[in-house]
Amino acid sequence: MTRELSLDEMASLTAGATMWTTQAIPEAGIPSLSMADGPMGVAGARVDERDISLLTPSPLALGASWDPALVRRVGRLVGGEAIRRGVDLMLAPNLNMARSPLSGRAFEYFSEDPLLCGTLGASWVQGCQSVGTGAVAKHLVCNDSETERDRMNAVVDERTLREVYLLPFEMAAQAGCAGMLTAYNKINGDWCAEAGPVVRDIVKNEWRFPGVFMSDWFGTHSTVGSLAGGLDLEMPGPARFLGSRSAGAVAEGQVEQGRLHDAAQRVATAARRFGAGKGMPVDEAAASELLIEAAAAGFTLVRNQDQMLPLDTRRWPRIAVIGPNASAPCFQGGTFAKIAVKPDAVLPVEALRARFGAAIVGYAPGVDPQPKLPRMPVRPARALDDGCARGMTLDYFDNADFTGRPLLSETRDTNSLTWFHGVHEAGALQANAGTRASGVFSASESGEHLFYVGGTGALRLLVDGEEVFRRDEQLAPGDVMGRLKSGDADSVTIALERGREVTVVVELRYTPARCQGLWYGVRGPGGAEAMLAAAEQMARDADAVILMVGETSDASVESKDRPDTYLPAEQLALIERVCAANPDTVVVTNVGHAFDTRWEQQARAVLHCWYPGQEFGAALAQVLAGEREPGGRMPVTIACEDSDYPALSLQPDADGNLHYRDGVRFGYRGLAACGVAARQSFGAGMGYASFKLCDARVRPADDGCTLTVSVRNTSARAGAEVVQVYRTQPELTLVGYQKVWLAPGEQADVSVAIALRRLQLWRDGWTTLPGPIELLAGRSSAELPLSAHITIKGDQA
C-alpha cells in the first residue's frame, strides 16, 4: 500500500529512528530498514564478541586477488549473512583509496588504483544485492586517511577528483548500489554531508544516481546545509539536524519542498526495495570453502628463490614454525566494523600442524604476540546464569558511586568493551554512571606482572582489594570518541608467585556521551631476549622455517594513522636472527597495508597474506603445501624508501587543509612519473605456475577498444595469470586487466576490454587522448614487455 506523504511524514524519513534503523510509515508501505557496518562481514550493533558472524578477507586482500567474479561471490556471501542477522543494508563496500601507506584504514580499501578499486567494489555491490541486501558505498569522498578526519579538509583539483577519487563511486552507482555514505571530512571547503558540488551536482544530477545519501554516524553539521547539499538521511537517530527540523526548514522557506520530497522518496524507495524480497541465508559449509578460496586468492608471493615453495617435506623433513602471528593472527583491523570471529577459528600454527604433521618440529613466538594490549585470562568473579566460565563479570550501575543493585550483569570474555547509546541493554550512557568489571586471575609463572587499564572516563584498578591505579579525570563529551579510538592504556607492575590467585576489579565512571569503552589486560613475566634466543635456536635446529610476522588489530584503527611503514623493531630483529640462523626461511606477512620490506632478501621466500579473514589458517596450510595457488598480485606499491611515496604524510596544516598535491600521480603512477623503482611493484606477484605473454594486438570496440594477448602456461601445474594493460600518457595508468586460469601447457588468447573513459582525461569535460595512444601489457606496472597503439576517433564524454 502506498500513498502520498504529508510534509511531516516526509521530514520524518530524513532521520534515523534508532542507532541502526530508519523510520517506518507502514500505512504508506514504507518499512523500517535495519543496517549494519561492514565491509568484512556483518558487524554486530552491540560491538559484542558474542555476536558471531562470518569474517571475510579484508578488501585489500580481495584487491590482491584481481578477481571481480570472486569478489562478487564474497559480496553475495555477506549479503546472505546479513539476511541471517536480520540486516537490510550493509554499510559497505569502502571505496576510498590507499593513497598513503600510513592510512589507518588502508586494509578496508581495495587498492591504490581507482580502476581496480572500482571494478572490485562494483562486483561486491552486485553480489551483496543479488540476494536482496542493499549495499551502501562509503565514504564519499576523500576519506583516505584518519588523522583529524572530523575536521580535515581535503583540497583536491577537479581532474584528480573525477579521475581517481570519484571513479570507484561512479562504478558503484552504475552497479546500482542502494546508496552512498558521506564522509566525516570536508571536500574543498564543504563538509561531505553538505558537499553540493559532489553529491548534488555530480552524483545526483550528472550521474543520475537514484540511491539514498546518508551521513556517516553523527557526521551532520546543519539542517539547511545538509538538505541543500543533497543529503537525504541523517544517521543515526533520533534526529539532531534533520527529521522534524527538515519540515521547519521548508515551512520557513529555507529549503524547497521539492528537495524534501526528493530526500523522502529516495529513503522510501530504498526501504521498499530492500525491506522485502530476500534470498536465503548462507550455507555454513559452502561459506567456509569460499572463505578459504578467497583468502588464498589474495596471498601474494613476491619471492620464491630456488622454488622453496610449495614446501615438500621430503626436501624439508623438519620444519619450525616461528613468529607471533602464527598463534595470534591478525584476522582483521580494529575499527567499529570489527567482526566477532567464531571462537573455534583455526589458528595458523594449528592448521600447519594438522597439514604437515610430524614435519612440524615445534613452535616459538619469538616476540610477544600481544605487544600493546594483552588478553585478560580470568574466570568470572561470580557465576551468572549465562554459564560462561571465562571472562570478567560486568556490572552496570545507573550511578557513578556503584551503589544499589546493578541495572544489568553479564560475563564478557574480551579485553575491550564498547557501548553505544541506545544499543546496549544497560542504557544509561546519557547519565553519570559506572561499570565494574571483576574476575579472578591465576599466575602461571612467578615474577612481575603488568596489569593494563584504559577507558573513556575515570578509572580505578584494584588487585585483591588494594587500589593500585586511579585516574579521576573525567573527559569532556567531545573527547570520548578520541579516547575510545586511541585504545591507549596505563599499566602497573605487581609481583606474583606462580599459582597465586588474585581478584582483579576495574571500575569505570563516566559522564554522558554517545559512546563509552573500557579495556584491560595482564602480561606475565618473560624476557624478550630469551624469547628471541629460543626462536633462533629452533630455527638453527630445523631444515626450514615458516616465520609469521605482522600486526595486531590495533595497528589499523579509526581516527588514527600510522607514524611509519615499519614492522615492530622486535619483529625486525626476529627476522634478522631467524634468517641468519636458517636462510631456508619462508616469511609470511600478516599486514593490512603497504609496509617496509627491506629485509626481504634475507629470506628464501616471502608471502604477503594481508588480513585474510577467519579461514587464514586453513588457506595458509593449503597454499604452503601446494594444494592451492597463491593467487594474489600486489594491490598496492611498496616503495624502497618512505620518502619515495608521492603521498605519505597525512597531517593537515594549521588550517585543517590536507592538500592532495600529488594529484593523480600517487602510488605506482607517481613512482613511474619520477623514474623511481619500487621494491615491490603494483600488480607484481607469482604463483607456482609460470607463464609467457606474447603477441599483443588491439582493435577498436563500440566504447573504447580491446587488447588481446596470447598467454601460455609454461609449467607442469595449473595456475592463474593476470594480464594487465596500462596507457603511458600523460602518466602510466592501469586501463584494464583480466585474470585467466590455464592448465599445464595450455595457451589462450586473453582479451582485455578497455572502456573509452579509460582513454580520456577530465579537462572541463571528458576529453579523449589524441592518438596514437600507446598501450603496454604485461604482469605488473614494472614488467610491461608488450605494446600496441590505437587512435580513438571522436571526442565524446
Rg of the chain over Cα atoms, rounded to whole angstroms, equals 27
Residues 6+ apart with CB under 8 A from 605: 301, 303, 304, 305, 308, 309, 585, 586, 587
* Nearest-angstrom CA–CA distance, 274 and 728: 43
Task: Decide the pairing of beta strands 392-397 and 408-412.
Answer: antiparallel
* Pairing verdict, β 378-380 and 433-442: antiparallel
SS (H, E, C) 58-96: CHHHHHHHCCHHHHHHHHHHHHHHHHHCCCCEEECCECC
Q: Is the dihedral of CA 232, 233, 239, 240 positive or negative?
A: negative
Nearest alpha-carbon partner for 77 in 272, 289, 273: 289
Contacts with 499 (C-beta within 8 Å, 6 or more apart), sequence order: 442, 443
Looking up cell 529513503, which residue turns up?
Answer: 267
Query: Which grid coordinates belong to 449?
Result: 606482572
What is the DSSP track for 766-784?
EEEPPSSEEEEEESBTTB-
Could you give the CA distance from residue 119 to residue 58 in angstroms, rounded to a whole number?
A: 16
Strand partners, 711: 693, 748
Secondary structure class of 736 (helix, strand, coil)? strand
For residues 748 and 711, the answer to whether their CB atoms sit within 8 Å is yes
Task: Please check whether residue 395 is in contact with residue 406, taking contact to mean a CB–CB distance below 8 angstroms.
Answer: yes
Integer Cα distance of 221 and 403 in angstroms:
38
Comparing CA positions, the residue from 179, 193, 181 lying closest to residue 228 is 193
The count of other CB atoms within 10 Å of the CB of residue 365 is: 23
> Taking Cα atoms as reference points, which of 38, 63, 22 lies closest to residue 138?
38
**Which of 316, 347, 350 has the alpha carbon at shortest distance from 626?**
316
Give me the count of residues in the chain.
797
Whether 216 is catalytic: yes
- CA-nearest of 598, 611, 561 to 678 is 598
Side chain identity at residue 700, one-letter code: P
- Angular region, 316: left φ>0, alpha ψ -120 to 50, beta rest: beta
How far apart (Å, rounded) are the C-alpha atoms in residues 792 and 766? 14
Phi-psi bin for 13: left (phi > 0), alpha (psi -120 to 50), beta? alpha
Residue 255 DSSP one-character state:
S
- Three-state SS for 203? helix
How far apart, in whole angstroms, are the C-alpha atoms of residue 14 and residue 374? Answer: 43
The residue behind cell 529516495 is: 266
Other beta carbons less than 10 A from residue 675's beta carbon: 6
Measured CA angle at 136 (ends 131, 138), to 5 deg: 145
Interhelix angle 616-624/284-298, rounded to 10 degrees, is 60
Secondary-structure breakdown of the chain: helix, strand, coil percentages, each rounded to the nearest 5? 25, 30, 45
| List 216, 232, 561, 662, catalytic entry | 216
Please provide residue 209's backbone torsions phi and psi, each rounded to the nearest 5 degrees.
-75, 125
DSSP state of 743: -
How far is the C-alpha of 672 from the C-alpha of 667, rounded, in Å?
Answer: 9
Residues designated as active site: 216
